[in-house]
Structure 1
Amino acid sequence: MTTTPAAPIDPLHSERPGVYADALVEVRRSAAAPPHAIRTASFAFWADRERLHLVHQLPADLVDNDLAGLIAGELFAPGWLEGSELFERLMTGIVLSISPDPLTAWTLFYRNTLDRLTHAGPPAEGGGRRGHDLVEGSLAGYAPVYRHAHELIAPGSMLELGSCFGFFSLLSAGHLEVTASDLSTNTVRLLARVAPRLGRRLDTLVCDAARVPRPDASFDTVVALHLLEHMSSEHGRAVLDEMRRVARQRVVIAVPYEEEPTAAYGHVRTFDHDDLAELGAHSGWRWRVHDHHGGWLVLDRR
Protein backbone atom coordinates (compact mmCIF):
# COMPACT_ATOMS: atom_id res chain seq x y z
CA MET A 1 0.00 0.00 0.00
CA THR A 2 1.07 3.59 -0.59
CA THR A 3 2.58 5.61 2.26
CA THR A 4 1.72 8.98 0.70
CA PRO A 5 0.00 11.25 3.25
CA ALA A 6 -3.75 11.20 2.63
CA ALA A 7 -5.99 14.25 2.47
CA PRO A 8 -8.47 14.72 5.34
CA ILE A 9 -11.68 12.71 5.09
CA ASP A 10 -14.49 14.56 3.32
CA PRO A 11 -17.70 12.80 4.40
CA LEU A 12 -19.79 14.62 1.80
CA HIS A 13 -17.69 13.74 -1.23
CA SER A 14 -17.92 10.61 -3.35
CA GLU A 15 -16.26 10.51 -6.76
CA ARG A 16 -18.42 7.62 -7.99
CA PRO A 17 -21.97 6.73 -6.91
CA GLY A 18 -21.94 3.97 -4.34
CA VAL A 19 -18.14 3.87 -4.12
CA TYR A 20 -15.87 5.60 -1.63
CA ALA A 21 -12.22 5.97 -2.60
CA ASP A 22 -9.34 8.01 -1.23
CA ALA A 23 -5.56 7.61 -1.06
CA LEU A 24 -5.79 4.84 1.56
CA VAL A 25 -9.01 2.90 1.04
CA GLU A 26 -11.68 1.98 -1.48
CA VAL A 27 -15.04 0.69 -0.24
CA ARG A 28 -17.76 -0.86 -2.40
CA ARG A 29 -21.11 -2.42 -1.65
CA SER A 30 -22.30 -5.64 -3.30
CA ALA A 31 -19.13 -6.03 -5.36
CA ALA A 32 -17.14 -9.17 -6.08
CA ALA A 33 -13.94 -9.82 -4.13
CA PRO A 34 -10.93 -11.61 -5.64
CA PRO A 35 -10.10 -15.15 -4.48
CA HIS A 36 -7.16 -13.96 -2.38
CA ALA A 37 -9.31 -11.57 -0.32
CA ILE A 38 -9.57 -12.14 3.42
CA ARG A 39 -13.17 -12.79 4.41
CA THR A 40 -14.94 -12.16 7.70
CA ALA A 41 -18.62 -12.52 8.59
CA SER A 42 -19.45 -9.09 7.14
CA PHE A 43 -16.52 -8.04 4.94
CA ALA A 44 -14.00 -9.08 2.34
CA PHE A 45 -10.79 -7.06 2.03
CA TRP A 46 -7.41 -7.08 0.34
CA ALA A 47 -4.56 -4.66 -0.28
CA ASP A 48 -2.57 -3.69 -3.36
CA ARG A 49 0.21 -1.16 -3.94
CA GLU A 50 -2.27 1.72 -3.91
CA ARG A 51 -4.81 1.14 -1.14
CA LEU A 52 -6.85 -1.20 1.00
CA HIS A 53 -9.99 -2.49 -0.71
CA LEU A 54 -13.10 -3.53 1.21
CA VAL A 55 -16.45 -4.85 -0.02
CA HIS A 56 -19.59 -5.57 1.97
CA GLN A 57 -23.27 -6.38 1.57
CA LEU A 58 -24.67 -4.69 4.66
CA PRO A 59 -28.39 -3.79 4.35
CA ALA A 60 -29.36 -0.14 4.78
CA ASP A 61 -31.12 -0.73 8.10
CA LEU A 62 -27.83 -1.81 9.70
CA VAL A 63 -26.00 1.36 8.74
CA ASP A 64 -25.68 3.18 12.05
CA ASN A 65 -22.96 3.91 14.58
CA ASP A 66 -22.78 0.23 15.54
CA LEU A 67 -20.61 -0.03 12.44
CA ALA A 68 -17.83 1.09 14.79
CA GLY A 69 -18.12 -2.07 16.84
CA LEU A 70 -18.55 -4.24 13.77
CA ILE A 71 -15.42 -2.88 12.10
CA ALA A 72 -13.42 -3.03 15.32
CA GLY A 73 -14.55 -6.55 16.15
CA GLU A 74 -14.04 -8.14 12.73
CA LEU A 75 -11.12 -6.20 11.26
CA PHE A 76 -9.08 -4.57 14.04
CA ALA A 77 -9.43 -6.76 17.13
CA PRO A 78 -8.07 -9.86 15.30
CA GLY A 79 -5.07 -7.81 14.16
CA TRP A 80 -5.86 -7.72 10.44
CA LEU A 81 -5.82 -3.91 10.40
CA GLU A 82 -4.65 -1.17 12.75
CA GLY A 83 -4.73 2.61 13.15
CA SER A 84 -7.54 5.07 13.93
CA GLU A 85 -7.18 6.85 10.57
CA LEU A 86 -7.78 3.64 8.63
CA PHE A 87 -10.69 2.85 10.94
CA GLU A 88 -12.35 6.21 10.28
CA ARG A 89 -11.90 5.96 6.52
CA LEU A 90 -13.43 2.49 6.37
CA MET A 91 -16.42 3.58 8.42
CA THR A 92 -16.93 6.64 6.21
CA GLY A 93 -16.61 4.48 3.12
CA ILE A 94 -19.22 1.98 4.27
CA VAL A 95 -21.74 4.76 4.93
CA LEU A 96 -21.10 6.48 1.59
CA SER A 97 -21.36 3.20 -0.33
CA ILE A 98 -25.00 2.85 0.75
CA SER A 99 -26.41 5.60 -1.51
CA PRO A 100 -25.33 7.47 -4.66
CA ASP A 101 -25.97 10.72 -2.75
CA PRO A 102 -23.62 11.31 0.22
CA LEU A 103 -26.08 13.44 2.20
CA THR A 104 -28.81 10.83 1.78
CA ALA A 105 -26.42 8.14 3.01
CA TRP A 106 -25.45 10.13 6.11
CA THR A 107 -29.05 11.07 6.88
CA LEU A 108 -29.90 7.36 6.89
CA PHE A 109 -26.93 6.69 9.18
CA TYR A 110 -28.03 9.41 11.60
CA ARG A 111 -31.72 8.41 11.60
CA ASN A 112 -30.88 4.78 12.29
CA THR A 113 -28.46 5.74 15.06
CA LEU A 114 -30.75 8.21 16.84
CA ASP A 115 -33.66 5.79 16.65
CA ARG A 116 -31.64 2.99 18.21
CA LEU A 117 -30.15 5.25 20.87
CA THR A 118 -33.64 6.44 21.79
CA HIS A 119 -35.08 2.93 22.05
CA ALA A 120 -32.02 1.06 23.28
CA GLY A 121 -32.49 -1.19 26.29
CA PRO A 122 -29.78 -2.09 28.79
CA PRO A 123 -26.55 -3.50 27.31
CA ALA A 124 -26.79 -7.21 26.58
CA GLU A 125 -24.54 -9.55 28.53
CA GLY A 126 -21.70 -10.78 26.31
CA GLY A 127 -22.43 -8.85 23.16
CA GLY A 128 -24.07 -6.03 21.26
CA ARG A 129 -26.96 -6.02 18.82
CA ARG A 130 -24.97 -7.76 16.11
CA GLY A 131 -23.27 -10.24 18.40
CA HIS A 132 -19.86 -8.53 18.57
CA ASP A 133 -18.34 -7.88 21.97
CA LEU A 134 -19.89 -4.91 23.70
CA VAL A 135 -17.31 -2.20 23.13
CA GLU A 136 -17.23 1.50 23.86
CA GLY A 137 -18.28 2.30 20.30
CA SER A 138 -21.53 0.31 20.34
CA LEU A 139 -24.95 1.91 20.64
CA ALA A 140 -25.83 -0.39 23.53
CA GLY A 141 -22.75 0.96 25.30
CA TYR A 142 -23.45 4.62 24.54
CA ALA A 143 -27.20 4.75 25.23
CA PRO A 144 -26.91 4.57 29.06
CA VAL A 145 -24.08 7.11 28.95
CA TYR A 146 -26.25 9.58 27.07
CA ARG A 147 -29.26 8.96 29.31
CA HIS A 148 -27.19 9.52 32.44
CA ALA A 149 -25.66 12.70 31.02
CA HIS A 150 -29.15 14.10 30.48
CA GLU A 151 -29.93 13.40 34.14
CA LEU A 152 -26.97 15.59 35.12
CA ILE A 153 -27.75 18.59 32.89
CA ALA A 154 -30.24 21.26 33.99
CA PRO A 155 -32.34 23.19 31.44
CA GLY A 156 -30.54 26.02 29.68
CA SER A 157 -27.61 26.23 27.31
CA MET A 158 -25.11 23.44 26.73
CA LEU A 159 -21.79 23.22 24.92
CA GLU A 160 -20.58 19.76 23.94
CA LEU A 161 -16.85 19.50 23.34
CA GLY A 162 -15.51 16.81 21.02
CA SER A 163 -19.00 16.07 19.74
CA CYS A 164 -17.74 14.02 16.75
CA PHE A 165 -20.91 12.96 14.86
CA GLY A 166 -22.95 14.95 17.39
CA PHE A 167 -25.43 12.26 18.47
CA PHE A 168 -25.64 13.52 22.06
CA SER A 169 -26.08 17.11 20.90
CA LEU A 170 -28.86 16.06 18.51
CA LEU A 171 -30.63 14.10 21.24
CA SER A 172 -30.35 17.16 23.51
CA ALA A 173 -31.54 19.70 20.95
CA GLY A 174 -35.21 19.22 21.78
CA HIS A 175 -34.92 20.47 25.35
CA LEU A 176 -31.64 22.41 25.56
CA GLU A 177 -30.05 25.30 23.71
CA VAL A 178 -27.22 23.29 22.16
CA THR A 179 -23.84 24.11 20.65
CA ALA A 180 -21.86 21.15 19.31
CA SER A 181 -18.13 21.57 18.78
CA ASP A 182 -15.32 19.48 17.36
CA LEU A 183 -11.81 19.95 16.03
CA SER A 184 -12.69 18.38 12.66
CA THR A 185 -14.07 20.96 10.23
CA ASN A 186 -15.59 18.32 7.96
CA THR A 187 -17.30 16.48 10.82
CA VAL A 188 -18.85 19.71 12.08
CA ARG A 189 -19.91 20.60 8.54
CA LEU A 190 -21.59 17.21 8.19
CA LEU A 191 -23.51 17.68 11.45
CA ALA A 192 -24.66 21.15 10.38
CA ARG A 193 -25.94 19.75 7.05
CA VAL A 194 -27.73 16.74 8.51
CA ALA A 195 -29.36 18.35 11.57
CA PRO A 196 -32.06 20.27 9.59
CA ARG A 197 -32.96 17.07 7.75
CA LEU A 198 -33.61 15.48 11.13
CA GLY A 199 -35.70 18.40 12.36
CA ARG A 200 -33.12 19.36 15.00
CA ARG A 201 -31.88 22.88 15.72
CA LEU A 202 -28.41 23.43 17.12
CA ASP A 203 -25.36 25.62 16.67
CA THR A 204 -22.01 24.22 15.59
CA LEU A 205 -18.47 25.35 16.30
CA VAL A 206 -15.07 24.23 15.02
CA CYS A 207 -12.43 24.45 17.75
CA ASP A 208 -9.86 22.69 19.87
CA ALA A 209 -11.55 21.75 23.14
CA ALA A 210 -8.79 23.60 24.99
CA ARG A 211 -9.36 26.83 23.02
CA VAL A 212 -13.06 27.66 22.76
CA PRO A 213 -13.62 31.01 20.99
CA ARG A 214 -16.37 32.15 23.37
CA PRO A 215 -16.38 34.54 26.37
CA ASP A 216 -16.18 33.38 29.98
CA ALA A 217 -19.34 31.76 31.40
CA SER A 218 -21.01 31.50 27.98
CA PHE A 219 -22.91 28.25 28.63
CA ASP A 220 -24.87 26.94 31.61
CA THR A 221 -23.33 23.47 31.22
CA VAL A 222 -20.26 22.23 29.34
CA VAL A 223 -19.93 18.50 28.65
CA ALA A 224 -17.19 16.22 27.33
CA LEU A 225 -18.41 12.67 26.84
CA HIS A 226 -15.67 10.13 26.07
CA LEU A 227 -13.25 12.81 24.92
CA LEU A 228 -10.37 12.92 27.41
CA GLU A 229 -9.22 9.37 26.63
CA HIS A 230 -8.22 10.71 23.19
CA MET A 231 -5.82 13.24 24.74
CA SER A 232 -2.57 13.36 26.63
CA SER A 233 -2.74 14.16 30.34
CA GLU A 234 -1.49 17.70 29.71
CA HIS A 235 -4.02 18.38 26.97
CA GLY A 236 -6.80 16.92 29.12
CA ARG A 237 -6.01 19.29 31.98
CA ALA A 238 -6.06 22.22 29.56
CA VAL A 239 -9.49 21.09 28.35
CA LEU A 240 -10.75 20.91 31.93
CA ASP A 241 -9.49 24.45 32.59
CA GLU A 242 -11.24 25.68 29.44
CA MET A 243 -14.47 23.93 30.38
CA ARG A 244 -14.46 25.75 33.72
CA ARG A 245 -13.81 29.04 31.96
CA VAL A 246 -16.78 28.87 29.59
CA ALA A 247 -19.20 27.07 31.97
CA ARG A 248 -21.60 29.24 33.93
CA GLN A 249 -22.75 26.53 36.34
CA ARG A 250 -21.66 22.93 35.69
CA VAL A 251 -19.07 20.77 33.93
CA VAL A 252 -19.82 17.12 33.12
CA ILE A 253 -17.07 14.71 32.02
CA ALA A 254 -17.51 11.02 31.19
CA VAL A 255 -14.78 8.52 30.31
CA PRO A 256 -14.74 4.78 29.64
CA TYR A 257 -12.91 2.45 31.98
CA GLU A 258 -10.46 0.35 29.96
CA GLU A 259 -7.53 -1.86 30.84
CA GLU A 260 -5.74 -0.70 27.68
CA PRO A 261 -6.52 2.26 25.38
CA THR A 262 -8.61 1.17 22.38
CA ALA A 263 -6.30 2.25 19.56
CA ALA A 264 -8.88 1.74 16.80
CA TYR A 265 -10.97 4.52 18.35
CA GLY A 266 -7.97 6.78 18.81
CA HIS A 267 -7.69 6.31 22.57
CA VAL A 268 -4.26 7.15 24.00
CA ARG A 269 -4.83 6.82 27.77
CA THR A 270 -6.97 5.06 30.33
CA PHE A 271 -8.83 6.35 33.39
CA ASP A 272 -9.93 4.98 36.72
CA HIS A 273 -11.85 6.47 39.65
CA ASP A 274 -8.70 7.94 41.21
CA ASP A 275 -7.65 9.65 37.96
CA LEU A 276 -10.97 11.48 37.82
CA ALA A 277 -10.72 12.42 41.50
CA GLU A 278 -7.32 13.95 40.83
CA LEU A 279 -8.80 16.08 38.05
CA GLY A 280 -11.62 17.15 40.36
CA ALA A 281 -9.21 18.18 43.11
CA HIS A 282 -7.20 20.15 40.51
CA SER A 283 -10.29 22.07 39.40
CA GLY A 284 -10.90 24.24 42.45
CA TRP A 285 -14.68 23.74 42.04
CA ARG A 286 -17.02 21.54 44.04
CA TRP A 287 -16.67 18.10 42.52
CA ARG A 288 -17.80 14.51 42.75
CA VAL A 289 -16.84 11.31 40.96
CA HIS A 290 -19.12 8.33 40.43
CA ASP A 291 -19.33 5.25 38.23
CA HIS A 292 -22.08 4.51 35.73
CA HIS A 293 -21.09 2.63 32.56
CA GLY A 294 -17.67 4.19 32.98
CA GLY A 295 -16.51 7.08 35.14
CA TRP A 296 -18.04 10.52 35.67
CA LEU A 297 -16.62 13.76 37.01
CA VAL A 298 -19.17 16.49 37.78
CA LEU A 299 -17.97 19.99 38.71
CA ASP A 300 -20.14 22.81 40.06
CA ARG A 301 -19.04 26.43 40.36
CA ARG A 302 -18.65 27.49 43.99
Structure 2
Amino acid sequence: MTAFDLATTSTIAPVDASPAPKPPLRVRRSPLVPPGFSRCGLLSWREQSGVLHIAHPFDERSISDAVVVDGLVALVEAGLLTGQAQFESAAMGIIRTSAGTPDEAWSAFYDNSLRELRTGASAFAPVHERAQSLIVGRTVLEVGSCFGFFALACAVDGLNVSACDISPGAVSLLSRAAHRLGLPVVASIGDATALPYPADSADTVTLIHLLEHLDPAAAHTAIGEALRVARRRVVIGVPFEDEPSPHFGHLVRLTEDDVYDWARAVPHTGAEIVVDHGGWLVLTPGS
Protein backbone atom coordinates (compact mmCIF):
# COMPACT_ATOMS: atom_id res chain seq x y z
CA MET A 1 0.00 0.00 0.00
CA THR A 2 1.08 3.54 -0.57
CA ALA A 3 0.45 6.53 1.65
CA PHE A 4 -1.48 9.58 0.49
CA ASP A 5 -1.65 13.09 1.93
CA LEU A 6 -4.57 13.43 4.30
CA ALA A 7 -7.57 15.54 3.39
CA THR A 8 -11.04 15.99 4.81
CA THR A 9 -12.57 14.70 1.59
CA SER A 10 -10.48 13.01 -1.07
CA THR A 11 -10.83 11.85 -4.65
CA ILE A 12 -8.74 8.81 -5.48
CA ALA A 13 -8.33 7.45 -9.00
CA PRO A 14 -7.67 3.73 -9.38
CA VAL A 15 -4.21 2.89 -10.69
CA ASP A 16 -4.70 -0.66 -11.95
CA ALA A 17 -5.16 -1.45 -15.62
CA SER A 18 -8.07 -3.76 -16.41
CA PRO A 19 -10.43 -4.44 -19.29
CA ALA A 20 -13.37 -2.78 -17.50
CA PRO A 21 -12.39 0.64 -16.13
CA LYS A 22 -13.26 1.20 -12.49
CA PRO A 23 -15.08 4.37 -11.44
CA PRO A 24 -13.01 6.88 -9.48
CA LEU A 25 -13.64 6.93 -5.75
CA ARG A 26 -14.68 9.75 -3.49
CA VAL A 27 -14.46 9.01 0.22
CA ARG A 28 -15.77 11.01 3.13
CA ARG A 29 -16.53 10.58 6.81
CA SER A 30 -20.14 10.82 7.91
CA PRO A 31 -21.46 9.58 11.29
CA LEU A 32 -24.86 8.94 9.65
CA VAL A 33 -25.78 7.49 6.27
CA PRO A 34 -25.89 10.54 3.96
CA PRO A 35 -29.05 11.24 1.94
CA GLY A 36 -29.15 9.18 -1.24
CA PHE A 37 -26.61 6.63 0.04
CA SER A 38 -27.28 2.93 0.55
CA ARG A 39 -26.00 1.09 3.62
CA CYS A 40 -23.64 -1.84 3.03
CA GLY A 41 -22.29 -3.30 6.25
CA LEU A 42 -20.20 -0.72 8.08
CA LEU A 43 -20.13 1.65 5.10
CA SER A 44 -22.57 3.39 2.80
CA TRP A 45 -22.28 4.22 -0.90
CA ARG A 46 -23.79 5.70 -4.03
CA GLU A 47 -22.75 6.07 -7.65
CA GLN A 48 -23.16 9.50 -9.20
CA SER A 49 -21.84 10.88 -12.48
CA GLY A 50 -19.46 7.94 -12.90
CA VAL A 51 -17.99 8.31 -9.39
CA LEU A 52 -18.34 5.76 -6.60
CA HIS A 53 -18.95 7.69 -3.37
CA ILE A 54 -18.14 5.91 -0.09
CA ALA A 55 -19.10 7.24 3.33
CA HIS A 56 -17.74 5.85 6.59
CA PRO A 57 -18.41 6.61 10.27
CA PHE A 58 -14.88 6.06 11.61
CA ASP A 59 -13.05 8.64 13.68
CA GLU A 60 -9.89 8.63 15.80
CA ARG A 61 -11.52 6.40 18.41
CA SER A 62 -12.72 3.73 15.98
CA ILE A 63 -10.47 3.69 12.90
CA SER A 64 -8.45 0.46 12.65
CA ASP A 65 -7.24 -2.07 10.14
CA ALA A 66 -9.99 -4.50 11.12
CA VAL A 67 -12.91 -2.11 10.58
CA VAL A 68 -11.49 -0.82 7.30
CA VAL A 69 -11.05 -4.35 5.94
CA ASP A 70 -14.44 -5.52 7.20
CA GLY A 71 -16.17 -2.51 5.65
CA LEU A 72 -14.49 -2.81 2.28
CA VAL A 73 -14.90 -6.59 2.02
CA ALA A 74 -18.66 -6.02 2.27
CA LEU A 75 -18.43 -3.67 -0.73
CA VAL A 76 -16.39 -6.29 -2.62
CA GLU A 77 -18.98 -8.97 -1.89
CA ALA A 78 -21.71 -6.60 -3.11
CA GLY A 79 -19.83 -6.15 -6.42
CA LEU A 80 -19.09 -2.48 -5.80
CA LEU A 81 -15.29 -2.72 -5.46
CA THR A 82 -13.04 -4.89 -7.59
CA GLY A 83 -9.29 -5.40 -7.73
CA GLN A 84 -6.43 -4.63 -5.39
CA ALA A 85 -5.77 -1.06 -6.54
CA GLN A 86 -9.37 0.07 -6.03
CA PHE A 87 -9.57 -1.73 -2.67
CA GLU A 88 -6.36 -0.06 -1.46
CA SER A 89 -7.43 3.34 -2.78
CA ALA A 90 -10.67 3.09 -0.83
CA ALA A 91 -8.76 1.97 2.29
CA MET A 92 -6.39 4.94 2.07
CA GLY A 93 -9.32 7.27 1.59
CA ILE A 94 -11.08 5.96 4.69
CA ILE A 95 -7.96 6.13 6.86
CA ARG A 96 -6.98 9.64 5.83
CA THR A 97 -10.49 11.06 6.27
CA SER A 98 -10.82 9.67 9.81
CA ALA A 99 -9.11 12.69 11.40
CA GLY A 100 -8.13 16.25 10.59
CA THR A 101 -4.36 15.88 10.14
CA PRO A 102 -2.04 13.18 8.80
CA ASP A 103 -0.39 12.59 12.19
CA GLU A 104 -3.73 12.25 13.97
CA ALA A 105 -5.16 9.85 11.41
CA TRP A 106 -2.18 7.51 11.13
CA SER A 107 -1.45 7.59 14.86
CA ALA A 108 -5.04 6.58 15.65
CA PHE A 109 -5.01 3.89 12.95
CA TYR A 110 -1.84 2.33 14.30
CA ASP A 111 -2.75 2.63 17.98
CA ASN A 112 -6.22 1.16 17.52
CA SER A 113 -5.03 -1.63 15.22
CA LEU A 114 -2.23 -2.68 17.57
CA ARG A 115 -4.61 -2.67 20.54
CA GLU A 116 -7.14 -4.85 18.67
CA LEU A 117 -4.42 -7.33 17.73
CA ARG A 118 -3.05 -7.40 21.26
CA THR A 119 -6.43 -7.92 22.92
CA GLY A 120 -7.72 -10.43 20.37
CA ALA A 121 -10.45 -8.10 19.07
CA SER A 122 -9.09 -8.39 15.51
CA ALA A 123 -9.87 -11.48 13.44
CA PHE A 124 -6.17 -11.54 12.49
CA ALA A 125 -5.04 -11.74 16.13
CA PRO A 126 -4.72 -15.58 16.19
CA VAL A 127 -2.34 -15.38 13.22
CA HIS A 128 -0.10 -12.93 15.09
CA GLU A 129 -0.30 -15.03 18.27
CA ARG A 130 0.77 -18.19 16.43
CA ALA A 131 3.59 -16.39 14.61
CA GLN A 132 4.94 -14.81 17.80
CA SER A 133 4.90 -18.20 19.55
CA LEU A 134 7.18 -19.61 16.85
CA ILE A 135 9.94 -17.00 17.08
CA VAL A 136 13.32 -18.08 18.47
CA GLY A 137 16.22 -15.81 19.37
CA ARG A 138 16.37 -12.07 19.90
CA THR A 139 16.59 -10.76 16.33
CA VAL A 140 13.67 -10.96 13.90
CA LEU A 141 13.25 -10.00 10.26
CA GLU A 142 9.69 -9.66 8.99
CA VAL A 143 9.55 -9.98 5.19
CA GLY A 144 6.53 -8.41 3.50
CA SER A 145 5.69 -6.25 6.50
CA CYS A 146 3.04 -3.98 4.92
CA PHE A 147 1.86 -1.66 7.74
CA GLY A 148 4.21 -3.50 10.11
CA PHE A 149 1.82 -4.38 12.93
CA PHE A 150 3.59 -7.70 13.50
CA ALA A 151 7.03 -6.07 13.52
CA LEU A 152 5.85 -3.50 16.06
CA ALA A 153 4.31 -6.20 18.26
CA CYS A 154 7.60 -8.09 18.25
CA ALA A 155 9.43 -4.92 19.26
CA VAL A 156 6.97 -4.40 22.13
CA ASP A 157 8.00 -7.90 23.30
CA GLY A 158 11.59 -6.66 23.54
CA LEU A 159 12.96 -8.16 20.32
CA ASN A 160 15.32 -6.41 17.91
CA VAL A 161 13.28 -6.17 14.73
CA SER A 162 13.99 -5.47 11.08
CA ALA A 163 11.24 -5.33 8.48
CA CYS A 164 11.09 -5.00 4.74
CA ASP A 165 8.39 -4.48 2.16
CA ILE A 166 8.39 -3.82 -1.57
CA SER A 167 6.18 -0.72 -1.08
CA PRO A 168 8.05 2.51 -0.20
CA GLY A 169 4.83 3.96 1.20
CA ALA A 170 4.34 1.06 3.60
CA VAL A 171 7.98 1.27 4.74
CA SER A 172 7.62 5.01 5.38
CA LEU A 173 4.45 4.50 7.44
CA LEU A 174 6.07 1.77 9.54
CA SER A 175 9.21 3.84 10.13
CA ARG A 176 7.17 6.81 11.30
CA ALA A 177 5.02 4.64 13.59
CA ALA A 178 8.07 2.97 15.13
CA HIS A 179 9.71 6.34 15.76
CA ARG A 180 6.57 7.77 17.37
CA LEU A 181 6.15 4.72 19.60
CA GLY A 182 9.83 4.56 20.48
CA LEU A 183 10.18 0.98 19.24
CA PRO A 184 13.39 -0.51 17.75
CA VAL A 185 12.11 -1.44 14.27
CA VAL A 186 14.38 -0.77 11.30
CA ALA A 187 12.25 -0.79 8.14
CA SER A 188 13.70 -0.99 4.63
CA ILE A 189 12.47 -1.34 1.07
CA GLY A 190 13.14 -4.89 -0.05
CA ASP A 191 11.97 -7.61 -2.41
CA ALA A 192 11.27 -11.00 -0.83
CA THR A 193 13.01 -12.72 -3.75
CA ALA A 194 16.25 -10.74 -3.30
CA LEU A 195 16.48 -9.72 0.35
CA PRO A 196 18.86 -6.82 1.08
CA TYR A 197 20.37 -8.57 4.12
CA PRO A 198 23.53 -10.64 4.57
CA ALA A 199 23.45 -14.35 5.25
CA ASP A 200 22.77 -15.51 8.82
CA SER A 201 21.86 -12.00 9.94
CA ALA A 202 18.61 -12.68 11.87
CA ASP A 203 17.69 -15.42 14.32
CA THR A 204 14.17 -15.74 12.90
CA VAL A 205 12.85 -14.67 9.50
CA THR A 206 9.08 -14.53 9.06
CA LEU A 207 7.00 -14.63 5.88
CA ILE A 208 3.49 -14.11 7.24
CA HIS A 209 0.70 -14.01 4.64
CA LEU A 210 3.18 -13.17 1.90
CA LEU A 211 3.58 -16.22 -0.37
CA GLU A 212 -0.03 -16.09 -1.59
CA HIS A 213 0.96 -12.80 -3.26
CA LEU A 214 3.68 -14.51 -5.34
CA ASP A 215 3.66 -16.94 -8.23
CA PRO A 216 5.03 -20.43 -7.44
CA ALA A 217 8.53 -19.75 -8.74
CA ALA A 218 8.82 -16.48 -6.80
CA ALA A 219 7.48 -18.16 -3.65
CA HIS A 220 10.18 -20.84 -3.90
CA THR A 221 12.85 -18.14 -4.33
CA ALA A 222 11.49 -16.17 -1.37
CA ILE A 223 11.70 -19.22 0.89
CA GLY A 224 15.28 -19.78 -0.23
CA GLU A 225 16.16 -16.17 0.55
CA ALA A 226 14.59 -16.44 3.99
CA LEU A 227 16.66 -19.59 4.69
CA ARG A 228 19.80 -17.75 3.58
CA VAL A 229 19.22 -14.86 5.98
CA ALA A 230 17.93 -16.87 8.97
CA ARG A 231 20.36 -18.28 11.54
CA ARG A 232 17.89 -20.42 13.47
CA ARG A 233 14.38 -20.45 12.04
CA VAL A 234 12.10 -19.46 9.15
CA VAL A 235 8.40 -19.06 9.95
CA ILE A 236 5.95 -19.16 7.04
CA GLY A 237 2.22 -18.58 7.43
CA VAL A 238 -0.36 -18.60 4.62
CA PRO A 239 -4.15 -18.44 4.42
CA PHE A 240 -6.18 -21.32 3.08
CA GLU A 241 -8.90 -19.86 0.84
CA ASP A 242 -11.57 -21.40 -1.38
CA GLU A 243 -10.46 -18.89 -4.02
CA PRO A 244 -7.61 -16.34 -3.95
CA SER A 245 -8.79 -12.86 -2.95
CA PRO A 246 -7.80 -10.46 -5.76
CA HIS A 247 -8.71 -7.39 -3.68
CA PHE A 248 -5.98 -8.41 -1.23
CA GLY A 249 -3.55 -9.03 -4.10
CA HIS A 250 -3.62 -12.81 -3.66
CA LEU A 251 -2.46 -14.59 -6.81
CA VAL A 252 -2.75 -18.26 -5.87
CA ARG A 253 -4.99 -20.54 -3.82
CA LEU A 254 -2.85 -22.39 -1.30
CA THR A 255 -3.59 -25.66 0.49
CA GLU A 256 -1.85 -27.94 2.95
CA ASP A 257 -0.36 -29.79 -0.03
CA ASP A 258 1.51 -26.61 -1.04
CA VAL A 259 3.01 -26.32 2.44
CA TYR A 260 4.27 -29.92 2.27
CA ASP A 261 5.61 -29.29 -1.25
CA TRP A 262 7.65 -26.31 0.01
CA ALA A 263 9.08 -28.42 2.84
CA ARG A 264 10.21 -31.04 0.32
CA ALA A 265 11.55 -28.56 -2.22
CA VAL A 266 14.01 -26.49 -0.16
CA PRO A 267 17.13 -27.52 1.77
CA HIS A 268 16.77 -27.46 5.56
CA THR A 269 17.64 -29.49 8.64
CA GLY A 270 14.12 -29.71 10.03
CA ALA A 271 10.52 -28.86 9.15
CA GLU A 272 7.33 -28.61 11.18
CA ILE A 273 3.89 -28.14 9.61
CA VAL A 274 0.89 -26.85 11.55
CA VAL A 275 -2.67 -26.08 10.46
CA ASP A 276 -4.12 -23.22 12.53
CA HIS A 277 -5.97 -20.32 10.89
CA GLY A 278 -4.31 -21.38 7.66
CA GLY A 279 -1.06 -23.24 7.19
CA TRP A 280 2.31 -22.87 8.91
CA LEU A 281 5.71 -24.13 7.88
CA VAL A 282 8.60 -23.80 10.34
CA LEU A 283 12.01 -24.50 8.82
CA THR A 284 15.42 -24.88 10.43
CA PRO A 285 18.16 -23.61 8.11
CA GLY A 286 21.01 -25.90 7.12
CA SER A 287 24.31 -25.70 8.97
Q: Same fold (TM over 0.5)?
A: yes
Identity within the alignment, %: 35
Tell me the CA shift for residue 89 of structure 1: 1.1
Q: Do structure 1's residue 159 and structure 2's residue 141 form an aligned pair?
A: yes
Decide which of 188, 197, 207 is 1:214's aligned counterpart. Answer: 197
Q: How does 1:175-194 map to 2 (within 5 A)?
A: 175-194=158-177
One-letter amino acid of the structure 2 residue matched with residue 241 of structure 1: G
Tell me the CA shift for residue 152 of structure 1: 1.0
Decide which of 240, 245, 254 is 1:271's aligned counterpart. Answer: 254
2:272 equivalent in structure 1: 288
Q: Does the 8 Å CA contact 2:237/2:279 hold for their aligned counterparts?
A: yes
Q: Do structure 1's residue 20 and structure 2's residue 4 form an aligned pair?
A: no
Distance (Å, rounded) in 1 between the aligned partners of 2:50 and 2:265: 48
Distance (Å, rounded) in 1 between the aligned partners of 2:239 and 2:221: 19
Note the aligned Cα RMSD (angstroms).
1.9
Tell me the CA shift for residue 145 of structure 1: 1.2
* Deviating more after overlay: 40-49 vs 172-181: 40-49
Could you tell me which runs of 5 or more consecutive residues in structure 2 were left unpaired when the two chains were aligned. Answer: 14-23
Could you tell me which runs of 5 or more consecutive residues in structure 1 were left unpaired when the two chains were aligned. Answer: 1-7, 122-138
Q: Does the 8 Å CA contact 2:136/2:232 hold for their aligned counterparts?
A: no
Q: Does the 8 Å CA contact 1:217/1:245 hold for their aligned counterparts?
A: yes
Q: Does the 8 Å CA contact 2:193/2:218 hold for their aligned counterparts?
A: yes
Distance (Å, rounded) in 2 between the aligned partners of 1:68 and 1:273: 29
Q: Does the 8 Å CA contact 2:228/2:285 hold for their aligned counterparts?
A: no
Tell me the CA shift for residue 295 of structure 1: 0.5
1:255 equivalent in structure 2: 238
Deviation digits for residues 187-225 of structure 1, max 9, x if unmatched? 110111122222322100101111111211111111010
* Deviating more after overlay: 52-61 vs 255-264: 52-61
How many positions carry a matched residue from both structures?
A: 273
Tell me the CA shift for residue 280 of structure 1: 0.8
Q: Do structure 1's residue 300 and structure 2's residue 284 form an aligned pair?
A: yes
Q: Do structure 1's residue 10 and structure 2's residue 13 form an aligned pair?
A: no
The secondary structure found in structure 1 opposite 2:53 is: strand
Decide which of 228, 232, 245 is 1:245's aligned counterpart. Answer: 228
Tell me the CA shift for residue 33 of structure 1: 4.4
Distance (Å, rounded) in 1 between the aligned partners of 2:74 and 2:217: 33
Tell me the CA shift for residue 60 of structure 1: 3.2
Q: Does the 8 Å CA contact 2:144/2:166 hold for their aligned counterparts?
A: yes
